Structure 1
Amino acid sequence: MTITKEEILKAFHFRHATKEFDPSKTISDEDFKFILETGRLSPSSFSSEPWKFVVVQNEQLLNKIKSSSYGAASKLPEASHFVIILSRTPRDMRYDSAYQREQQSKAVPKERLSRHLEIFEEFQRNDFKLLDHERFLTDWAIKQTYIPLANMMTAAALIGIDTCPIEGFNIEKINQLLEEEGLLEDGHFTISVMLAFGYRKKEPGPRIRLPFDDVVKWVK
């Protein structure tokens, strides 16, 4: 099965940060699993896969999130599905962590693993200076979670489903809430971003983007 360039661009024009969802419409299990699978299959630096997708369906937890996140408050009552994207913390993102050693051993043949881990250390220690501060490792991991975020939004748009990425929350408060719910796995994860899914209640206004030539620079 093929998809045309025109169909892909149509999906990008269709997609917008939906502010109001139609509460009478629900995404099918088949469609939502498809969307999540596009997130799971997303690429990550050094095959680190520093994410987890928490699909929140518990009404009590949704209400707690609603009261703790101004960005989610207006979406949660009407959205069909709500996902919290978690990011792994430095304890799992260091090149020499147990998690990364396991990940790298799955991605690289045994005979090349030792050299690969040396390159991984060089990348973190000297190339990107990620070991200079724990925050750098955290930010590196969180940046990668935006790859599956974008892929899931695009996949949803391709099948006519709306989304809204949400950063409108206090990180410490949401992390505390998620920790109390046992979702951060004893400090192995932190909140990255939230994503609401559903069907738009009304058509959006005109899309505003910079002109193509202002965004793209050709260097010959």
Structure 2
Amino acid sequence: MSSLRRLNVVAVTKEQILEAYQFRHACKAFDPAKKISDEDFNFLLETGRLSPSSFGFEPWKFVVVQNMELRERLKPVSWGAQGQLPTASHFVIVLARTKGDLLPDSAFIQHMMREVHQMPEEVVGRFQEIYRNFQDNEFKLNEHDRLFFEWACRQAYIAIGNMMTAAALIGIDSCPVEGFDRAAVEEILTDAGVLKGNLSIACMVAFGYRAEDPGRPKSRQAMEDVVEWVR
């Protein structure tokens, strides 16, 4: 790593990072008059895109819902986003892939290995068998179709966490939302032509600028209650 790149990596101090974590909270309502710039929001999307995933297969898709009519249709079936849907600068529905896209022989996995990661053909064969053994024997995803989606959701949450942390570091608020009727939301998105293929909703995330301060400090368990050292 060059000295310039090393300098860029350490440009943000540990104190600044912890301050961003203290700043971040689940913002229930945003200032509708304040909009995130295209540059800043593309930066947040890039932190999601660059997030790590199991086997490097990136089993996610980020749908940015800026259409206010569609947001209004989602509101009655999204009890956890009542304040966020009408006020957020940007509202993201994070989709995770389902079994049809995650099997070793699927078009999506083949595309990821061959076109995205540009694996040589002999590597594709070996990697595919490692991946198949992982699914069949190690994590046993084939025991139920739903397990594939849940596995993809866990990875999508890595991207969501990275996007929210990046947002806090540049002074943008966020709120992850799981309070919604998945079947009803997916029906609306399908009707709108947004939800297609082997995808389902993992989570919603709203971004913007807080309308008011949360009013109380962040509360978390003590370090000794959540960390155990095995020496």
Please, what TM-score do these two structures have when normalized by structure 2?
0.91
Q: Which residue, out of 25, 28, 38, partners 1:19?
A: 28
| Residues 1-220 of structure 1 mapped to structure 2, 5 A cutoff | 1=8, 2-105=11-114, 106-107=116-117, 108-185=119-196, 187-204=197-214, 205-220=216-231
Aligned-pair distance for 1:151? 0.5
- Sequence identity, in percent? 53
More deviation in 200-209 or 127-136?
A: 200-209
Unaligned stretches of 5+ residues in structure 2: 1-7
Maintained 8 Å contact 1:54/1:86: yes
Give distance in 1, aligned partners of 2:102 and 2:126.
18
Name the SS for the 1:95 alignment partner: coil
Unaligned stretches of 5+ residues in structure 1: none
Give distance in 1, aligned partners of 2:228 and 2:161.
23
Maintained 8 Å contact 1:72/1:166: yes
The amino acid of 1:211's aligned partner reads A
Cα RMSD after superposing both structures: 1.1
Q: Structure 1 residue runs of 4+, over 6 Å off? A: none
Aligned-pair distance for 1:111? 2.6
Number of equivalenced pairs = 219
More deviation in 98-107 or 29-38?
A: 98-107
Name the SS for the 1:17 alignment partner: coil
Maintained 8 Å contact 1:46/1:104: no
Please, what TM-score do these two structures have when normalized by structure 1?
0.96
Aligned-pair distance for 1:109? 3.3
Give distance in 2, aligned partners of 1:20 and 1:59.
16
Name the SS for the 2:211 alignment partner: coil
Aligned-pair distance for 1:88? 1.1
Aligned-pair distance for 1:72? 1.4
Maintained 8 Å contact 1:52/1:86: yes
Residue equivalent to 2:3 = none
Aligned-pair distance for 1:178? 1.0
